[in-house]
Amino acid sequence: MIPSNTHINLRSAVKNLDSLPAMPLIAQKLLALKLDTVRGEQEMQFLITQDTLISAKIIGLANSPMLGTSRKVTSVKDAALVLGLARIQSVAMGIAIMSLMKKPPGRFKVQDLWLHNLGVAFGMLAITSAMPAKIRPQEDQTFLAGMLHDIGYLVLAYLDSARSDALHDQLASQLDRPALDIERELLGVTHDELGAELALSWNLPEEIVAVLRYHHTPGLAMDSVGQPLARIVHLAEKLLTSFGMHEYIVPTISPNDWQELGINPDKADEIASNVVEQAEQAIQFVNNFNLK
């Protein structure tokens, strides 16, 4: 345990994020694009091709076995046909943000966070595909929410690397204890709060800010703009407990958890299997990011 006199006030520090990297310019530009126009599509492809890291990873994802592509994808334009514009926009933003923060202080393993976030993002798509179309969130919001939902762990690593290391040691040693309980005891603040404050400072969409803040407590956001995304993230994490990183969440799922999303609980087993399958197929892709 770190001596209390060395602690910074994380709640105050996160509101003054000068020590954290600014949101990457390419991510800002991607966020502002309107993909329902030919010009928006062309601008997105141009932006991505100008960044060799992002374009390589996008093409790699398009060739991933998880997508069952029948032919070799060699360009961003072809990748857009395989992945869809919304997914490319969200993945590219996630890559830009995570690559910027790939070497935070301390022992925090960004590769584990990548695997967890991407696994949850793909798992969320398996859940949304079972939802009624009239309440189903847009895929770009769904995927971006999944890609960024636990970015608060990165915020903590930058603000206080010693307590970040202490937290992850505790998460690894108390595998059956809820992560938020450990965070509140050790830090007095949780990663969902830290992530939401970063999202606010970056002017991310209010839906994404709400998801980052409430993805562990979606019942507190019943009338929030973060619904139903917060519930979908929460459900995906229950189905993928500790996937990619040590973040235990009580895995109990009630029929109401499915009904809140317009899903018949009788389909729960089938959907849960699809979520796990989607997440496990993300492993090969994440292993190619080299963000250790």
| pLDDT tens column, 114-132 | 889 888 988 998 999 999 9
Each residue of 160-204: pLDDT tens digit?
889 999 999 999 999 999 999 999 999 999 999 999 988 888 888
Cβ neighbour number for residue 70 with a 10 Å cutoff: 6
- Average pLDDT rounded to a whole number, residues 152-167: 90
pLDDT value of residue 1: 38
Domain ranges in the chain are 21-100, 104-292
CA distance 146 to 130: 17
Residues 6+ apart with CB under 8 A from 257: 231, 235, 238
Confidence bin at 3 (pLDDT 50/70/90): very low
- Average pLDDT rounded to a whole number, residues 270-278: 92
- Name the pTM for this structure: 0.83
> Which CATH fold would you assign to the domain 104-292?
Hypothetical protein af1432 (1.10.3210)
Cβ neighbour number for residue 36 with a 10 Å cutoff: 8
pLDDT reading at 216 higher than 60: yes
Per the listing, tokens 């992945």 go with 83
State the average pLDDT for the chain.
Answer: 84
Percent of the chain at pLDDT exceeding 90: 36
pLDDT value of residue 83: 81
- Average pLDDT rounded to a whole number, residues 264-287: 85
Give the 3-state secondary structure percentages of the chain, helix then strand then coil, rounded to 5: 65, 0, 35
pLDDT value of residue 138: 83
